[in-house]
Structure 1
């Protein structure tokens, strides 16, 4: 029991030094740190949203033949989904193709604007065999991932060819 109390006292002393606070003020300092952390996380999320909006605007300006395509490294599928949704919300007559290389995985998202008739399932049926992958979605939005059997650039080129020249599967 005494050893346990000594260990707790040592931990309290170390925490007190780390926080530059007296033993009886540690709880207040930790509370303030948690509040600051929450504010910083919110600020970061807001900044990421702003960055995403700017990125979407830039990508919309680079579209060719109604297709917006981009490749990334170390982006999450959730980030790609968010970017794709932002792009099709900004223009209902585009197709969006986004791909990311994450270590030993190649992942993609494809989306279409409201006035586009091409099924994204068609893209998925061409894309997934290229990467020995799995995926899912609907006619308006698909995602998938697999092995990097081709580079992100080769992947986008093949999918783009399929869209521009549907007979070249």
Structure 2
């Protein structure tokens, strides 16, 4: 078996842009220059009486997904993020569902289905900017709200399936 490096295009990102409780996952592709994952492990440390160095323990995570997009009006996911910042939405109006799909990990039996995690995120748009002659950029961070849900995602039907 060869060692294969996972490339960025092997991770697909989807944003639920649906309304009235009906999910509609839009691919976060065209327009997105970067969309990173920072688990941000939070540690708790203590130095016991017999130690010189601190003992650390992971106590929780504060997931963050910084993004940088070009403002492309025809791209549903880009426009959903832009509208949160443009309209200065807060609280639950600034929260969305976000799915990160690992295309390099196909489901054992289901076609077009891959391992995925679904996050509830608070969208923090930190910039809508552009200089003369260049495209407008929308930048910010998707902040994790609560625990992720583990499952699979069908890239054809765009349905998230929770692991049993």
Task: State TM-score, norm by structure 2.
Answer: 0.29
Task: State TM-score, norm by structure 1.
Answer: 0.29
Flag the structure with more relative contact order, 1 or 2, with Cα contacts below 8 A and sequence separation at least 6. 2
Q: Which has the larger radius of gyration?
A: 1
Richer in strand (by share)? 2
